[in-house]
Structure formats: C-alpha cells, structure tokens
C-alpha cells in the first residue's frame, strides 16, 4: 500500500497545482447539486480549465514529447 500511495503522490506532485485545485473545487461544489445543475456547473469549470495557461502548456508538451513546465496558472 505504501508503494501505491507514494506512486500516486508522485504523480499528483507532477501535475499543475492550479488545475488540480480547480478540479478539486469543482468536484466538491458539484457533489451536492442536482444532476442537471452539477453538469452545467462542471461544464463551465471545464471551459475554465481549457483556457488555463497550463492546459496550453500540457498540450504543447505532449505534442513535443517533453515534460511540461507548469506555471500554475
């Protein structure tokens, strides 16, 4: 179990902190909403995520086959 937890922590540490925070907030906000409202809210948050600077960096890094350099924005 320790190995699995360490692997997960290492994976999350390598992600954009801004995008992780946005996803976490969206999850906990939508959790208590009725399904139609939750879907509408999550859709708006996904749009914010796509417009984030780090989303563009992630796509560029993937296309260029290099590790991303997150700016946490």
Which of 37-55 are b and which e, b meaning 16 or more Cβ less than 10 Å from the residue's Cβ?
ebeeebeebeeebeebebb
Q: What is the pLDDT of residue 72?
A: 87
The total number of structural domains that make up the chain: 1
Residue 69 lies in a domain: no
- The C-alpha atoms of residue 27 and residue 71 are separated, in whole angstroms, by 22
Segment 13-68, tens digit of pLDDT: 999 999 999 999 999 999 999 999 999 999 999 998 999 999 999 999 999 999 99
Q: What is the pLDDT of residue 58?
A: 93
pTM check: above 0.85: no
Residue 71 lies in a domain: no
| Domain range for 9 | 2-63
Residue 70 lies in a domain: no
């Amino acid at each position: 179990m320790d190995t699995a937890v360490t692997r997960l922590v290492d994976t999350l540490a390598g992600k954009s902190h801004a995008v992780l925070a946005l996803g976490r907030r969206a999850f906990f906000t939508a959790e208590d909403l009725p399904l139609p409202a939750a879907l509408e809210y999550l859709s708006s948050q996904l749009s914010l995520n796509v417009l984030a600077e780090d989303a563009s960096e992630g796509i560029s890094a993937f296309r260029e086959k290099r590790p991303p350099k997150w700016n946490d924005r």
